[in-house]
């Protein structure tokens, strides 16, 4: 597996390095390929296709027949083996994972026309609403009743090795798969197939979508199920102690990560991350607290009298917010996001689509009110 990174990737790079280690008897690997200048190209990645093209000299050393390309800003649980088997069975050059969407969402996706044999004769990127009647595909009765008659690309592709290499050679200036490479593959007569996915999928490429996807995990029966014996989520084990609570904290629809020390009055409809520290009489609602990378000892807290400790202080109210890693929220702070707030940016926090985001390492002084 290669992970292609470009902007602000230090945290991701560190996570991958720490999480995925293989023993000496395994040929598996997870390697990071950051954008880099070469004698033949001094530009950063210009798009999805350009990123993969610039990485050819790395991945073409490997012995493979098919390449699976995934997006990094989506949340879903898919059996990729089933998609690969369909790609092979169809004898396809390219297979695109797709899901049915309604007219409102269709204008934000690449939309494909799927034939009865599962091939894709036509593809258009983000069509205008007036064009949609020409892009209806055959779907189930239930999907048709919901108005989900348009097959949208999920940005997940399988390429046969030769087809990918030839398309890059034939279109050396193309930078995007959805806008250029996929239409070119169809126009050239290559066999492009569709793999319909009917499970949970959401894009988390914006602050609002990221916020909503995480908050939905606290639902009684969430659409994205973390508690499953088969679809297991693997990550780095931190070997931390269990979360600890004091003072009769009221918990409702909450996910609490290990290593947390919580004195809060109420945590409702919220996600609390690793090593979080939340002070007495504090209320956290409809929020994501990322937690901390380290613990502060009691001695450190006592000796740093002029500095706000890591975590959320006493008598605070935090609502409709995301607190990134290693934030320092003082006492008596009120943060209440909402659609009434305009987008804004300061050194320590920003507001996007009504969500207040305290930046990584941000400091909010005692008594601050953001609402």
* CATH number of domain containing 183: 3.90.550.10
Is residue 20 domain-shared with residue 133, that is, in the same domain?
A: yes
pLDDT tier for residue 190 given thresholds of 50, 70 and 90: very high
Is residue 331 domain-shared with residue 355, that is, in the same domain?
A: yes
SS3 annotation, 167-183: HHHHCCCCCCHHHHHHH
Give the whole-angstrom CA distance, residue 82 versus residue 146. 26
In this predicted structure, the answer to whether residue 218 has a pLDDT above a threshold of 80 is yes
Give the whole-angstrom CA distance, residue 184 versus residue 174. 10
Give the whole-angstrom CA distance, residue 45 versus residue 55. 10
Give the whole-angstrom CA distance, residue 82 versus residue 90. 12
Is residue 147 domain-shared with residue 218, that is, in the same domain?
A: no
Least confident of 67-76, 137-146, 355-364: 137-146
- Per-residue model confidence (pLDDT) at position 40: 65
Give the whole-angstrom CA distance, residue 321 versus residue 217. 16
pLDDT tier for residue 39 given thresholds of 50, 70 and 90: low
Is residue 278 domain-shared with residue 189, that is, in the same domain?
A: no
- Per-residue model confidence (pLDDT) at position 250: 97
pLDDT tier for residue 72 given thresholds of 50, 70 and 90: confident
In this predicted structure, the answer to whether residue 60 has a pLDDT above a threshold of 70 is yes
- Per-residue model confidence (pLDDT) at position 244: 96
For the residues 268-275, what does the mean pLDDT come to?
97
- Per-residue model confidence (pLDDT) at position 42: 66
Of 151, 180, 206, at which residue does a domain stop? Answer: 206
Higher pLDDT, 60 or 9: 60
Of 175, 206, 237, at which residue does a domain stop? Answer: 206
pLDDT in tens, 133-170: 999 988 888 888 888 999 999 999 999 999 999 999 99
Is residue 334 domain-shared with residue 297, that is, in the same domain?
A: yes
Looking at every residue in the chain, the average pLDDT score rounds to 92
Least confident of 30-39, 97-106, 121-130, 237-246: 30-39
Give the whole-angstrom CA distance, residue 259 versus residue 240. 5
pLDDT in tens, 326-354: 999 999 999 999 999 999 999 999 999 99
Of 206, 231, 251, at which residue does a domain stop? Answer: 206
Give the whole-angstrom CA distance, residue 122 versus residue 134. 10
For the residues 14-29, what does the mean pLDDT come to?
87
Is residue 117 domain-shared with residue 242, that is, in the same domain?
A: no
pLDDT tier for residue 279 given thresholds of 50, 70 and 90: very high
For the residues 296-306, what does the mean pLDDT come to?
83
pLDDT tier for residue 41 given thresholds of 50, 70 and 90: low
Is residue 288 domain-shared with residue 166, that is, in the same domain?
A: no
Is residue 92 domain-shared with residue 146, that is, in the same domain?
A: yes
- Per-residue model confidence (pLDDT) at position 160: 97
The predicted model scores a pTM of: 0.88
Is residue 192 domain-shared with residue 311, that is, in the same domain?
A: no
Give the whole-angstrom CA distance, residue 283 versus residue 318. 6
Indicate the length of the chain as a whole number: 371
- Per-residue model confidence (pLDDT) at position 38: 66
In this predicted structure, the answer to whether residue 47 has a pLDDT above a threshold of 90 is no
pLDDT tier for residue 73 given thresholds of 50, 70 and 90: confident
Among 339, 337, 340, 329, residue whose Cα is nearest residue 367: 329
pLDDT tier for residue 235 given thresholds of 50, 70 and 90: confident
Question: CB of 311 within 8 A of CB of 278?
Answer: yes
Domain assignment of residue 77, given as a range: 2-206
In this predicted structure, the answer to whether residue 8 has a pLDDT above a threshold of 80 is no
- Per-residue model confidence (pLDDT) at position 35: 77
Higher pLDDT, 94 or 42: 94
Largest CA distance in the chain: 71
Among 347, 355, 315, residue whose Cα is nearest residue 331: 315
In this predicted structure, the answer to whether residue 237 has a pLDDT above a threshold of 90 is no
Residue 92 — left, alpha, or beta (φ > 0 → left; ψ -120 to 50 → alpha)?
beta
Among 270, 247, 3, residue whose Cα is nearest residue 262: 247
CATH (domain of 218): 2.160.10.10
Is residue 334 domain-shared with residue 229, that is, in the same domain?
A: yes
For the residues 3-18, what does the mean pLDDT come to?
85
Three-class DSSP category at 284: strand
Helical (H) or strand (E) element with 118:
none
Is residue 162 domain-shared with residue 218, that is, in the same domain?
A: no
pLDDT tier for residue 323 given thresholds of 50, 70 and 90: very high
pLDDT tier for residue 295 given thresholds of 50, 70 and 90: very high
Is residue 43 domain-shared with residue 173, that is, in the same domain?
A: yes
In this predicted structure, the answer to whether residue 283 has a pLDDT above a threshold of 90 is yes
As for how many domains the chain has, the answer is 2
In this predicted structure, the answer to whether residue 25 has a pLDDT above a threshold of 90 is no
Could you tell me the two tokens for 167? 């398309």
């Amino acid at each position: 597996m290669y992970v292609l990174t470009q902007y602000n990737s230090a945290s991701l790079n560190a996570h991958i390095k720490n999480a995925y280690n293989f023993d000496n008897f395994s040929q598996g690997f997870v390697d990071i390929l950051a954008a880099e200048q070469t004698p033949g190209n001094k530009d950063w990645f210009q798009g999805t296709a350009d990123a993969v093209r610039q990485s050819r000299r790395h991945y073409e050393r490997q012995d493979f027949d098919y390449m699976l390309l995934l997006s990094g800003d989506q949340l879903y649980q898919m059996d990729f083996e089933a998609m690969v088997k369909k790609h092979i069975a169809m004898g396809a050059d390219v297979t695109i994972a797709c899901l049915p969407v309604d007219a409102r969402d269709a204008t934000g996706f690449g939309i494909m026309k799927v034939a009865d044999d599962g091939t894709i004769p036509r593809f258009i990127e983000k069509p205008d609403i007036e064009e949609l009647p020409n892009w209806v595909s055959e779907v189930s009765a239930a999907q048709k009743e919901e108005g989900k008659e348009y097959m949208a690309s999920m940005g997940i592709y399988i390429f046969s090795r030769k087809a990918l290499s030839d398309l890059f050679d034939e279109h050396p200036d193309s930078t995007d798969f959805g806008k250029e490479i996929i239409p070119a593959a169809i126009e050239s007569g290559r066999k492009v197939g569709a793999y319909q996915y009917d499970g949970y999928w959401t894009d988390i490429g914006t602050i609002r979508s990221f916020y909503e996807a995480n908050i939905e995990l606290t639902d009684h029966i969430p659409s994205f199920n973390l508690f499953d014996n088969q679809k297991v989520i693997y990550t780095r084990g931190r070997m931390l102690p269990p979360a600890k609570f004091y003072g009769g904290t009221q918990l409702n629809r909450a996910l609490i990560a290990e290593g947390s020390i919580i004195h809060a009055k109420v945590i409702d409809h919220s996600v609390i991350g690793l090593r979080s520290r939340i002070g007495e009489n504090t209320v956290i609602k409809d929020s994501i607290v990322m937690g901390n990378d380290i613990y502060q000892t009691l001695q450190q807290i006592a000796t740093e009298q002029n500095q706000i400790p890591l975590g959320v202080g006493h008598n605070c109210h935090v609502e409709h917010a995301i607190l990134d890693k290693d934030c320092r929220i003082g006492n008596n702070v009120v943060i209440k996001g909402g659609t009434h707030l305009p987008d804004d940016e300061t050194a320590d926090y920003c507001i996007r689509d009504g969500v207040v985001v305290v930046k990584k390492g941000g400091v909010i002084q005692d008594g601050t009110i953001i609402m």
